[in-house]
A = this chain, B = another copy of it.
Amino acid sequence: MAVSIDIDAELVERRIMDLARHGACFDTGVWRTVYSPEWVAASDQYAAWCEEAGLKVRRDAVGNVWGRMEGTEPGKSIVSGSHIDSQKPGGRYDGALGALAGLIAIEALFKAFGRPKRTLEALSLCEEEGSRFPSTNFWGSRAIVGKIRQGDAETMKGYEDETMAEAMRSVGLEPARIPTAIRDDIDAFVELHIEQGPILEQAGLPVAVVDAITGMRHYHVTLTGEQNHAGAFPMDLRFDPMAGFAEIAGGVIDTAHRMGRPAVTTVGRVSCDPNYPAIVPRTVRFTVDARHPDPAKRAVLYERHETFMREVAARRGLTISWEILTDHAPCLSDPDLIRTFQAAATEQGVPFMTMSSGAGHDSQEMAAIARMVMLFVRSKDGRSHTPEEFSSIEDIVAGIKVLAAGLHALAY
């Protein structure tokens, strides 16, 4: 028999809008970088709502806010939340929705069923986007799993040249205390997040259970040929890196396309040197972002890209080199948690699909110390990282229902 979960749609909407006031911009946008005044206000607001809900609030050394509902039995915690920082600008839902969902679900469960057997915790993670410090996304979850090394906060520079340590101290946090944020008593981490893509919308479904976070790799490629006069140098004697780039960019994009979902490859960045209409360039630099959640297929995708890039460069007499500056292995959701939340969705009558995440999330860091699973809520037009990102309250309530029902199955 399905438990009856009641999620108050008006409360959900009010909380989303109230939280979005902190850093509000461009009508529907949010500009809330980690350790900014808006971030402090949003974190305080989250902590206040946790207290109202009867949760015990603790803020850790990096400013993650934990709202704890102690279980009646001993054992590791079941945690649900997401990040509270935003892009510049982002929207009202990316991250914030998951932090609120964890809190609202636990609050609803406590109201309906009282104290759980297993300890439940709602979590507002301090930082995920890398929008203030480019090299430090997942700052909040990395602190929890112990991946921040001593001295990192001092050397990490923001876009405006401040260090992470300075930013922390400006809001009363002491970098030397970062190791105290480490947790080793979490059993499961469940993160609800907007999809940020169009797959649910295309499928006509409000919710997905996420079975894996994709593996991704960024190639930073340099392709060099011979700079020449655009008029005086015949085509047949050129070593034109722009022609080579065109073939490579078209080819790697096509390779991912033909491999089929969920393979994706993006060429998002390109520059050319010199950069004049009437000069055959000497060098074209570009990125290749390639992702696949299946470890074996991911290896095939990378291998095809590398072989193709080398082949094009060799055939055209160009020199090619690349650096891999970002390389994340796929992160698989826990099979039992997948089944638990699939069953919860079925029980609650929420139509859903199971899919992988093409974007990175805090859950992939949390997976180092806990079983994890994610839930996605349908995004309008697949958009995110923009003030226009939108998910309907109906879909959000459906997602929080599934979250609460799953947490109920795990904790009661």
Contact = CB atoms under 8 A, between A and B. Distances in A.
A277 B264 contact: no
A240 B253 contact: yes
A199 B231 CA distance: 12
A60 B202 CA distance: 71
A385 interface: yes
A202 B279 CA distance: 21
This chain: how many copies in the complex?
A: 2
A228 to B, nearest CB: 7
Interface in A242-286: 242-243, 245-250, 253, 256-257, 261-272, 274-281, 284
B235 A257 contact: yes
Given A242-B253, A246-B250, A267-B242, A229 B272 contact: no
A242 B263 contact: no
A265 B270 CA distance: 20
A289 interface: yes
A237 B202 contact: yes
Given A234-B261, A237-B382, A263-B235, A358 B229 contact: yes
Interface of A: 195-199, 202, 214, 216, 218, 220, 228-237, 240, 242-243, 245-250, 253, 256-257, 261-272, 274-281, 284, 287, 289, 291, 326, 357-360, 382-385
25 contacts: A195-B232, A196-B231, A196-B232, A198-B237, A229-B358, A230-B264, A230-B266, A232-B358, A233-B382, A235-B261, A235-B264, A236-B261, A242-B270, A243-B249, A243-B250, A243-B267, A246-B247, A246-B253, A250-B250, A266-B277, A266-B278, A266-B280, A268-B272, A268-B281, A270-B271
